[in-house]
Structure 1
């Protein structure tokens, strides 16, 4: 790692004695002598300030940036740009593989320019945790875990070999092997130090841990008092190479928590309530910081559960300051005593340690929740913010059947299954999964699920044959404490066997359901359901056959699984036979007693003691050496991307965007799952046809997520989600009428305007590319919501899309679009494609998009219709910062970095 040039122009560097020895630090209290406002800043802003103070170099970060943050006024936040250099980067394998592919391709580009390829190397520490690849192919059996692990390695051998090469070729880069856990839980339990140290000029300097991650749920670490959030893989790659994140200084919403959770409720119920409140308040692009006397009643795991869901309530992050509970959790999870002492002493010296006596910071706005008023809840059937009180769940399900799915709630059919005839109908659950770090990081809800299983097993209950149930712990520690509490055997007995250590169902890796069930669902157009303890339930995400998806706490997942349907009122109806929910629901005392018995520091120390060498299948992977990667032309998993073909060190400038054709018109809430699916690849899709043409059998297709290292697959998968709707496919769309969205067919298809043919979006994009026609996409509100998926920007860029005009953008996706050289424009309030009478047949021109572009300036768009009529409208360009203009001038962020390193 390079030695940073951390100057001390303001004279704030001081020394501190700790159990780890003497450390130096850049003192915020010392800086407060010049800027007294620091003592009233939100804790999250103080950490941004420390990063600027410590890394001030008069070039990238100067004293004006320090002044901007130190004089921050939350009631009147100015749109001022600040650079932020985090301490480290975390990645998961779905986003990490294409990230390492990009670094390898950049090394090739440097070699072609006759420049040392090792200039492309992570400068900051990077941890990649392999957690997204395991699928639930096998479930409900004692050998499911071993079978899924074996199949994971068979499918992903090429990817894992590539990552093994990367871990050797790049310094400051380490890979946590498969079957260890989920990146955010591993980060929370092991990787995060809360306070980092680094040698500088012969002294050990301490500073706050901070990070960005290539997954939106990176925010989970905010529960530990660590500043961090998700970014796209493209942006993370730039950060690895020591490029700052340029961001507008955010508003900070204070969320006051009081009281304590009542008997019978869980942290999941709390987080669904918080998510709904914050979504309603509006926190997109903002920090949320939690405070209040209620924090003293919360475990750190509960805080992490709330922080994890920041993407679902729309915030950049949900931050909990360091306090006594932070230190307690660090000791519980086996952190070194010297580190714990350093964290406590450093954070207190810096004014970063929250105490009861500390004054409440000044916030931009505030909300308050008495946790004593939280009630059992679920969320669905399509969005995590749509909370439903459990007592109203049956009524809400029936209303959704009528209003959302337009179907009768009682429709059912007989299905032959394993030699018996089973009933399957609307509302029947076919998937129930305890999954996702959101909840599997929290021992209280996992133990509660185990206790429900224990009581159910004693009553002779099991999940129905029509349901696929699974348990995917977020780390191996979970299995150990469930075993120590005697609860794993009960989960096994009712059908919740451990299937793998990874994200599984939460990211769409639910695996297949029985073919007879799938056939019955599709032949009879049944609206079946899934219930999971995850964080996202967007349509088409969990399983292609499942329309109604609900989020619930792990113990409620078990209860619903045993009932086998969403069409149940737990207050008045039995789960099975004479057994009701209250008969199997544990008391808080039962949960606490089990926690005290089973969750110990020794478990964490043992499971993480040999984390990088514990997986023998990983250790046995043979890998080549070398500074550059030897690409296998036959590989369908790893391919050299074409972003840097004919690369030159000369900046090309902003392109002229004229005579643009429309590829698609989308509605509201188009997610990154819609744009770039992570799940199964259909045989008759463009990606399926490509793989078949390369000799890959459909059984070996794997998922889009697993093939993100191959741009040929991913560009064909762009907009290939089975549930996406393109207005141009409506029968009346091309005649200029406003279409009824309920009549728009699903699937990734469009109309190729020059020929009038209907075809896949990919095939149309290739025809336009042959004609050298640039493309535009029109969309509604919240375009790009969901996972921080860089392929949702890379794919459109490779399809030739140059502009996206939407009513609003999700934060990370907007940034990713710019990172790939795509211009994001925002309709003015009240306008959209339909209100302007646009049907996609027009020819578009973008006026005023040139090298003089200013952030957030107005851009005029003209659309010429076939009859010669012209529709003109003004948009706001969502290039939010000056550095993003530079990225667009270079064709993207990676091109910018490559030119900088090549020239330097």
Structure 2
């Protein structure tokens, strides 16, 4: 629908020989939106989005005035707006199920007698295959080739499906395996900072905005692209032309001043920022960075900080357009006309910053003098738990007792067939991995220099350490090779294992069997050190309980030291060829050394060459035959891709929503239950319901692959929902893992098996939880699996924003305690739960965020309890989705009608 442009803001902008149409923010101010020149620049991007998409229905003049009023209320007044991103970014773990849903929607459209081709992305979509490579092979020059071969063997069914999708859908491109991590490919190539689109004879210019099916989509905020992670469910709606409803946010200004001290890295800075913002509390808010330190900050450093927005809890961590933005776009080979447009557009719209810029108005401001940053890690379980390097060793000793309930002794245990022993705190995984750091040449060059200095002194990594290097793009290999540093990393076992997100998402691969056996036989608290952004329990590797986030050079240092119990700031990390002690300071590079190599080794020609034909792929990819036409030819024998049941029996009129009457409690969880706990992730155990299902389908255990690789198959995924090895259900408090009790039988069984028994009994299900339910990655299966298990409602003390939205998108109602949480109710799991008022949505009586009552009856003593909850269906659009049975049936009926 074309813009009505009630304020007459459309103008022309001539850049070189090209003319662009745009919606002018200064013109909007002249037309009556007073003071918007003082808005945070992220808010200006939102306002432009509304100006351009004003249609009198989803975006009205009242919405424009509400944004202008932000200057006075600073986001304290709730007002919902409809945001339409310029494009959608996906990675394959979350992207495959989204494409599966689109394919299923095409089938459903055909069954309704409508045109299946109407199911098609209406905005550009890029899917980068980056989450499927696993570290099976490492420590050799052959590791990369071997891992690629294994990746294609495991994932050929998924890759055939994605090849079909790239040809069947318009506006849908696939970046093949082995190219890089989606966020770095986005930073280095896909993002444009200012987007353009044809409109009749005109070309309209507007800010590049994006939503992605990975929570770390925020990394692109470092290039002044407003974007954040959404669930696959929300992304599908955006692809199909649905606006993303959101409340006008508060914007927290984060002022950076000073210069980084010698010996510190961008990783140390981001861990400091993360801890500060977590303490502040910025969930659901924008964070925008400003201050005198920005002009001297590289885009790569900005992207590192922006990447971690999910860890500090913000919707985004935005950096405005600056000279650094222009320099980076030029250095990475963007079209010259586009780079010129970015600068001209940013200056015309008041989006540009330099030393003369006035500070915007913010909801609140934090300040950090970055000269106070010190070398740090984060762990052993959460990214916001920063630990200064100087106290990392004693901090681990404390965690042994307080977190892992382990006696703080120094016992060590022999490893069968090896000449070494291992004990608590030993680093068994040292991985340079994840988009957080592998986008940043300074820290990768620093890692290479540590390796170079260590090699010169004759140091070796400890034999129990699994080492790996998984860069964010192929350009990394080019500049490390040009600098002569790749061979230095190779010498310490940090050989290239693949281009993609590996250890950080649980694709660390197995440990040596003898080491794994020793860990498990002796309950050793083994550790990993990784340059990632996530270290939740059970995520990195099932054998590793303590996980620490660190900069790439520190990853190398800990591989040399071999233990978290060594204070690497005062104790030796090894001995040189003559037996003399070597300390961290002996191998740590200076800032000047790093900068000199970066200036020489990183060239724009590398980016131009690597991205010249980014969608072509290698011989493996090109050899995959495309099968199917407008609709997909589902293979009933596949255990990777299956037609999901979301549209079975779908009619043009939705089935009326019913109240939850005499439901059962499937699980009771504590605080900080992440989507890693809820959603299937990591390896598939042979004894698990998913493992048993695959075994019954004739799949050998060594071919199970990971849950992430099988996200396109609902039968596997629903069996892995709530099956995390570290999750604790308070119904079965003495058992770790996805276990519950069925009532009234009181039989103990897997959560999946209990859910199936309840379904056969016709019982709706409810889940109780504590604070911050659903934090972590934006996993759509955390909501899809919940719904397929028969859960109608989740009752928690608070929610992470993406997961709450995804629950609604799947027709599951999120309810929030008004007062005390479940712990004050004395729940045992036997309770029978009734929630009335949900059926009011059928007749328009259920309002966003309405209060409802929950009734509990305990059969064992006949006691009744009643308590209020807030329905966290937050806006009218979500109510429409809920009434329709979810966002996909809602969109499908609209398109079919």
Same fold (TM over 0.5): yes
Structure 2 Cα separation of the partners of residues 237 and 681 of structure 1: 27
Residue 878, structure 1, aligned to residue 872, structure 2 = yes
| TM-score, normalising length: structure 2 | 0.98
- Say whether the 8 Å CA contact 1:408–1:426 is kept in structure 2: no
Residue 699, structure 1, aligned to residue 702, structure 2 = yes
CA shift digits 1:263-284 (9 cap, x unpaired): 0000000000000000000000
Corresponding pairs, count: 885
More deviation in 16-25 or 490-499? 16-25
Structure 2 Cα separation of the partners of residues 450 and 651 of structure 1: 59
Matching residue of 1:31: 28
Residue 526, structure 1, aligned to residue 529, structure 2 = no
Structure 1 Cα separation of the partners of residues 776 and 217 of structure 2: 13
Deviation at 1:12, TM superposition (A): 1.0
Deviation at 1:842, TM superposition (A): 0.5
SS, match of residue 647 in structure 2: coil
CA shift digits 1:354-404 (9 cap, x unpaired): 122222111111100000000000000000000011001111011111111
Deviation at 1:408, TM superposition (A): 2.6
- Say whether the 8 Å CA contact 1:74–1:363 is kept in structure 2: no
Structure 2 Cα separation of the partners of residues 837 and 704 of structure 1: 35
Unaligned runs of 5+ in 2: 576-580
SS, match of residue 367 in structure 1: strand
Matching residue of 2:850: 857
Residue 12, structure 1, aligned to residue 1, structure 2 = no
User: What aligned pairs does 1:145-164 form with structure 2 within 5 A after superposition?
Assistant: 145-164=144-163
Structure 1 Cα separation of the partners of residues 231 and 16 of structure 2: 38
Residue 225, structure 1, aligned to residue 224, structure 2 = yes
Unaligned runs of 5+ in 1: 731-743
CA shift digits 1:434-453 (9 cap, x unpaired): 00010000110000000001
Structure 1 Cα separation of the partners of residues 350 and 374 of structure 2: 36
More deviation in 488-497 or 353-362? 353-362
SS, match of residue 288 in structure 2: strand
Residue 320, structure 1, aligned to residue 313, structure 2 = no
The CA RMSD over aligned residues, in Å, is: 1.0
Structure 2 Cα separation of the partners of residues 883 and 9 of structure 1: 24
Matching residue of 1:456: 454
Structure 2 Cα separation of the partners of residues 14 and 690 of structure 1: 60
- Say whether the 8 Å CA contact 1:412–1:423 is kept in structure 2: no
Deviation at 1:76, TM superposition (A): 5.2
CA shift digits 1:449-487 (9 cap, x unpaired): 000010011111121111100000000000100001110
Matching residue of 2:578: none
Structure 2 Cα separation of the partners of residues 66 and 175 of structure 1: 36
CA shift digits 1:394-443 (9 cap, x unpaired): 110111111111113334333345x4321100000110100001000011
User: What aligned pairs does 1:555-634 form with structure 2 within 5 A after superposition?
Assistant: 555-577=553-575, 578-634=581-637
Deviation at 1:336, TM superposition (A): 1.2
Matching residue of 1:333: 332
Residue 667, structure 1, aligned to residue 670, structure 2 = yes
- Say whether the 8 Å CA contact 2:573–2:584 is kept in structure 1: yes
User: What aligned pairs does 1:804-815 form with structure 2 within 5 A after superposition?
Assistant: 804-815=794-805
Deviation at 1:500, TM superposition (A): 0.3
Matching residue of 2:716: 713
Matching residue of 2:45: 47
Deviation at 1:882, TM superposition (A): 1.3
User: What aligned pairs does 1:282-321 form with structure 2 within 5 A after superposition?
Assistant: 282-321=281-320
Matching residue of 2:164: 165
- Say whether the 8 Å CA contact 2:561–2:568 is kept in structure 1: no
Matching residue of 1:735: none
- Say whether the 8 Å CA contact 2:74–2:251 is kept in structure 1: no
Matching residue of 2:764: 774
Structure 2 Cα separation of the partners of residues 20 and 877 of structure 1: 54
Deviation at 1:74, TM superposition (A): 4.6
Deviation at 1:651, TM superposition (A): 2.5
Matching residue of 2:431: 433
CA shift digits 1:538-564 (9 cap, x unpaired): 000000010000000000000011101
Matching residue of 1:745: 735
Matching residue of 1:639: 642
Matching residue of 1:834: 823
Deviation at 1:20, TM superposition (A): 5.9
- Say whether the 8 Å CA contact 1:104–1:628 is kept in structure 2: yes
Structure 2 Cα separation of the partners of residues 571 and 173 of structure 1: 50
| TM-score, normalising length: structure 1 | 0.97
Matching residue of 2:540: 542
Structure 2 Cα separation of the partners of residues 74 and 321 of structure 1: 22
Structure 1 Cα separation of the partners of residues 189 and 640 of structure 2: 30
Structure 2 Cα separation of the partners of residues 677 and 429 of structure 1: 26
- Say whether the 8 Å CA contact 1:134–1:502 is kept in structure 2: yes
- Say whether the 8 Å CA contact 1:322–1:352 is kept in structure 2: yes
- Say whether the 8 Å CA contact 1:410–1:425 is kept in structure 2: no
SS, match of residue 438 in structure 1: coil
More deviation in 129-138 or 564-573? 564-573
